[in-house]
A and B are shown apart, each in its own frame.
Chain A
Amino acid sequence: MTEARPVVEGANHTVAAADGYEPVIGLEIHVQLSTRTKMFCGCEIRFGERPNTHTCPVCLGLPGALPVVNERAVIFAAMIGLAFGSDVARRSLFHRKNYFYPDSPKGYQISQYDEPLCRGGRLGDVRIHRVHLEEDAAKLEHISASGRIHGSERSVVDFNRCGTPLVEIVTEPDLRTPEQAREWLTLLRATLRALGVSDVDMSQGSLRVDANVSVRRAGSRELGTKTELKNMNSFRFLERGLRAEIDRQLGVVRAGLTVEQETLHFDPASGRLTTLRSKEEAHDYRYFPEPDLMPLEVGDELLQAARSAIPELPAQRAARFEHDLGLSAGRARELAFRGELGDYFERVVAAADAAPAPELANWIPLLVERIGSDTDPAGSRVAPEGLAALAAMVSRRELSRDAARTVLSRMVEIGGDPSSLAEREGLLALPGGDGQLAELVERAIAQDPGAAEQVRANNMKAIGPLVGYVMRETKGRADGGEVRRLILERLAPH
């Protein structure tokens, strides 16, 4: 392995294109497919088990063993391509990508090269260059205190992972900022999860991201020299790594120097970028068509199987939430890009009779805030019917917004239906028409005549203390809007 050499200290300031430079980002994503068996043999895919217990002559690269394509993996890869609107090739080729390393038992990886399974397509506002199939490598463990190769006494190989089907997705260089890259990856992850083709868990390595980064004069159509940022293993590190590399490149070009083509590693602990390989050290993989496999033929039947297995995808769902249900674009994406939130939201909508969908949608983030962002609300104590009922009480003014939040907290803690909870806790709203609120409004005006005077003079800021008084007196049970209406009616009758 090449000795890592530091290139730059990671800086924290954000990317500024004020002096006319813009970053250009393309991503290469490896996705482990969740098929039952491996890409080229019948071994089951299992993780976290005793090393080398799910192996056979094929995935161990024993002499004489031959690969056989897993059709399920082809269907999964075709589903991904169809979801992007890619062209799925009726005939594609597997190649051998030659390199020596102990994680590669054959001395080559079977991958696709110049005739991939899928070309073109788009996800969100990013164009897809290609999607191809390949096999995963084995896992190396370095025996040393740090677990790093440097200074380790020896390394051992676990072949359980070896031969797991991988799909590599390559985008066009359509991303411009680290934030955009992160948000797009969220959409990609949601899409793959909705397709059911992968666990897409970055921390487990079933989703791995490399990025190609360059900078250029804004408005230029030419691309600058790119560097490749390897294997960032969380969304947050991806964003930080991209930011650090963009900053580094901007520093280089602003100093009048040129960016060198190289492969870099971002260390999230130190925030430093280190060179893995320079251009001169780039591998010659000596690709050639894999003679042990026939060309991969995709027939009508397989294509039909792939097509019919595609559910509604997050981008489509977000569009439906926005256009059919009237949600804001942001809220629609927030719910649709996390499939379990979208599912829960749709159950709330189905259970509600009166409340409008955007109103219902506003309650989902409040629920998520209370159960934790990693929890599926379907597993919480709050039934979708309960949340729908809560929203209905608010829109019928039986419960103030503040009180409803308190009720929601109680629902998360102990479950139950919102109206009996509100009643038991004495949180039911004070109806505006029964005189009790009107009396409190009178008292509010009486104890702060100055504020009342200003409201009369049309200084609406002054209404705050008056409303606040009523809310305090009612411990938040009053409907703020109703209180405001009563004060104005009393002070500025039209």
Chain B
Amino acid sequence: MTAALVQLTAAQAGARVRARELDPRELFEAYRQRAATDELNAFTWVAEAPAAAGPSPADAPLGGVPVAVKDLFCTEGVPSQAGSRILEGYRPPYSATVVERLTRAGAPLLGKTNQDEFAMGSSTENSGFGPARNPWDRARVPGGSSGGSAAAVAAGLAPWAIGTDTGGSIRQPAALCGVVGFKPTYGACSRYGMIAFASSLDQAGPLTRDVTDAALLFGQMVGRDPRDSTSLKFPEPVRLPHADSLRGFRLGIPEELTGTEGGVEPGVRDAFDRSLELAEKLGAAIEPCRLPHAPHALSAYYLIAPAEASANLARFDGVRYGLRVDGEADLLTMYSRTRAAGFGLEVKRRIMLGTYALSSGYYEAYYGTAQKVRTRIAQDLHAVFERFDLIATPTSPWTAFELGAKLDDPLQMYLNDFCTVPMSLAGIPAISIPCGLSDGLPVGFQLAGPAFSENRLFEAAFALERAIGYDGSPARG
């Protein structure tokens, strides 16, 4: 029975609960047991039972289907550590708006998922609580930073999950684990209660088994939040997709993000090309396009994000919460010992980078120039969307790599985000769907559209997903 239960997509399970055909407690318990015996290190904390506060599942839009939540979302009374030792055991006094909304919509908290520390990384190896594993091959990484969420959904340890995406942190692990990952338009979901990495880029989104689940979960996450000044009112209702063709869709293929010279592995390129052929068969008009500034996106991103992070992480100082290592009766040694012990290597690297980029005398050359590049990239995309409805790229240049393979080479690690960062800088929505395998490992196909084009994006992804016929059922794990 349990095995059959976890074969259901979240939408299917929720529909059965709402039709009174499935006991939501049974559903929760089935997943709770799987999450509690997780061998992928995908979870950092698992709930004992659904929180008492939620609505009656059978009457709630999400039908009591439990959700796994990335560690960096604040959850009241529940460890929220952002993958960092500096927040080990930290239990916040409040919950993130997005988590609150999902709870109210009938998705109880199943557990907290592993991640790269403060979302800095593309493999979940930077977690302060040990790396998560890829269910397709446990010697390989699940991607990151939302690697725990992606692995949990792929392995059927959770029906669905939420993560955050700053430069690709939802889409890339979704691609490497063979699940759907969606980064919304910047501002669509409240950031209140998300432990910040880079405020102008961070955005919450779903990781799910299929596009329908992504649209269903996203529909309960969106909306203006008076506690987040950068959040926006979503201009239309979020609809569940039904398209069975791509007629009328003009699909642009940016040369700068798809060529093998950009580092895209041949196997990934093959799977991507096969999906493009399917899209064409479905009626899409496909043409190459140019994003001339896209090759500079990574450089700009690795200045802007660390700059913001260097300020966002200043609050972890040992004074009010989290780790504190006493100094020698003075403030400065307490600060430096606490932060030396609490932060991992990559976090320290980015704090240093960001601090340097903002320093007097360097600000214009680094941060100022990076902001100009960001504007150019947004302009490039804007221009492309005058001719195309959506653009498509591989999500990641490669499939899941072995643990440790890129750990000693930060620049190689940063290249993971090559195809996903331009959309982040422009604040536009993008979705990654599984589009087949390369050497037995999942490949992700990324679709992106203009701001607030979520409904169009879901329709196109849904039609393509059905044509690809990828089996998203959690046979592994």
Interface status of B473 (Cβ within 8 A of chain A): no
Chain B neighbourhood of A218, CB < 8 A: none
* A108/B193 in contact, CB under 8 A: no
Asked whether A64 and B331 contact (CB < 8 A) given A106-B314, A291-B199, A291-B308, the answer is no
Chain A neighbourhood of B199, CB < 8 A: 291-292
From A64, A157, A294, contact of B196 by CB (8 A): A64
Question: Least Cβ distance of B330 to chain A in Å?
Answer: 9
- Among B193, B310, B311: residue with most chain A CB under 10 A: B311
- Among A57, A61, A62: residue with most chain B CB under 10 A: A62
- Among A96, A98, A107: residue with most chain B CB under 10 A: A107
Interface status of A293 (Cβ within 8 A of chain B): yes
* B229/A68 in contact, CB under 8 A: yes
Question: Least Cβ distance of A402 to chain B in Å?
Answer: 65
Interface status of B235 (Cβ within 8 A of chain A): no
Tell me which residues from 90 to 107 in chain B have a Cβ below 8 Å from any Cβ of chain A: 90, 92-94, 96
* A69/B229 in contact, CB under 8 A: yes
Which secondary structure dominates where chain A touches chain B? loop
Question: Least Cβ distance of A159 to chain B in Å?
Answer: 9
Interface status of B335 (Cβ within 8 A of chain A): yes
Question: Least Cβ distance of A104 to chain B in Å?
Answer: 8
Question: Least Cβ distance of B308 to chain A in Å?
Answer: 6
* B314/A64 in contact, CB under 8 A: no
* B314/A107 in contact, CB under 8 A: yes
Question: Least Cβ distance of B303 to chain A in Å?
Answer: 11
Interface status of A476 (Cβ within 8 A of chain B): no
Chain B neighbourhood of A98, CB < 8 A: 310-311, 314, 358
Interface status of B367 (Cβ within 8 A of chain A): yes
Asked whether A107 and B317 contact (CB < 8 A) given A68-B229, A98-B358, the answer is yes
Cα distance A66–B196 when bound, in Å?
9
Asked whether A100 and B358 contact (CB < 8 A) given A69-B229, A288-B307, the answer is no
Chain B neighbourhood of A379, CB < 8 A: none
From A100, A157, A292, contact of B229 by CB (8 A): A292
Question: Least Cβ distance of B196 to chain A in Å?
Answer: 7
Question: Least Cβ distance of B326 to chain A in Å?
Answer: 11
* B311/A284 in contact, CB under 8 A: no
Tell me which residues from 115 to 161 in chain B have a Cβ below 8 Å from any Cβ of chain A: none
Question: Least Cβ distance of B459 to chain A in Å?
Answer: 31
Instruction: Look across to chain B and name the residue whose beta carbon is closest to the beta carbon of A293.
Output: B229
Tell me which residues from 258 to 308 in chain A have a Cβ below 8 Å from any Cβ of chain B: 284, 286-288, 291-294
* B331/A96 in contact, CB under 8 A: no
* B191/A66 in contact, CB under 8 A: yes
Question: Least Cβ distance of A162 to chain B in Å?
Answer: 11
One digit per residue, 1 when the CB lies within 8 angstroms of any chain B CB and 0 when it does not, for chain A 55-69 equals 001001111111111
Size range of the chain A interface in the assembly:
20 to 34
Asked whether A100 and B82 contact (CB < 8 A) given A68-B226, A288-B358, the answer is no
Chain B neighbourhood of A107, CB < 8 A: 311, 313-315, 317
Instruction: Look across to chain A and name the residue whose beta carbon is closest to the beta carbon of B339.
Output: A100
Interface status of A105 (Cβ within 8 A of chain B): yes
Instruction: Look across to chain A and name the residue whose beta carbon is closest to the beta carbon of B194.
Output: A64
Cα distance A294–B200 when bound, in Å?
10
One digit per residue, 1 when the CB lies within 8 angstroms of any chain A CB and 0 when it does not, for chain B 337-356 equals 00000000000000000010
* B320/A105 in contact, CB under 8 A: yes
One digit per residue, 1 when the CB lies within 8 angstroms of any chain B CB and 0 when it does not, for chain A 360-396 equals 0000000000000000000000000000000000000
Interface status of A450 (Cβ within 8 A of chain B): no
* A57/B315 in contact, CB under 8 A: no
From B94, B228, B319, contact of A57 by CB (8 A): B94
From A68, A69, A100, A105, contact of B227 by CB (8 A): A68
Interface status of A311 (Cβ within 8 A of chain B): no
Question: Least Cβ distance of B39 to chain A in Å?
Answer: 29
Cα distance A101–B320 when bound, in Å?
12
Question: Least Cβ distance of A29 to chain B in Å?
Answer: 25
* A291/B200 in contact, CB under 8 A: yes
* B315/A286 in contact, CB under 8 A: no
Interface status of B302 (Cβ within 8 A of chain A): no
* B229/A294 in contact, CB under 8 A: yes
Cα distance A66–B191 when bound, in Å?
8
Instruction: Look across to chain A and name the residue whose beta carbon is closest to the beta carbon of B307.
Output: A288
Asked whether A64 and B358 contact (CB < 8 A) given A57-B94, A100-B335, A102-B319, the answer is no
* A292/B230 in contact, CB under 8 A: yes
Interface status of B249 (Cβ within 8 A of chain A): no
Interface status of B430 (Cβ within 8 A of chain A): no
Cα distance A108–B310 when bound, in Å?
10
From B73, B226, B314, B359, contact of A100 by CB (8 A): B314
One digit per residue, 1 when the CB lies within 8 angstroms of any chain A CB and 0 when it does not, for chain B 353-386 equals 0010011100100010000000000000000000
* A65/B192 in contact, CB under 8 A: yes
Chain B neighbourhood of A64, CB < 8 A: 72-74, 80, 92, 96, 191-196
Question: Least Cβ distance of A292 to chain B in Å?
Answer: 5
**Apart from the given pairs A64-B195, A106-B311, A288-B307, 7 other A-B contacts in the complex at a CB distance below 8 Å:** A62-B92, A63-B74, A64-B80, A64-B196, A68-B227, A292-B196, A292-B230
A-B contact pairs, 6 of them (CB 8 A): A63-B195, A64-B194, A65-B193, A108-B314, A291-B199, A292-B229
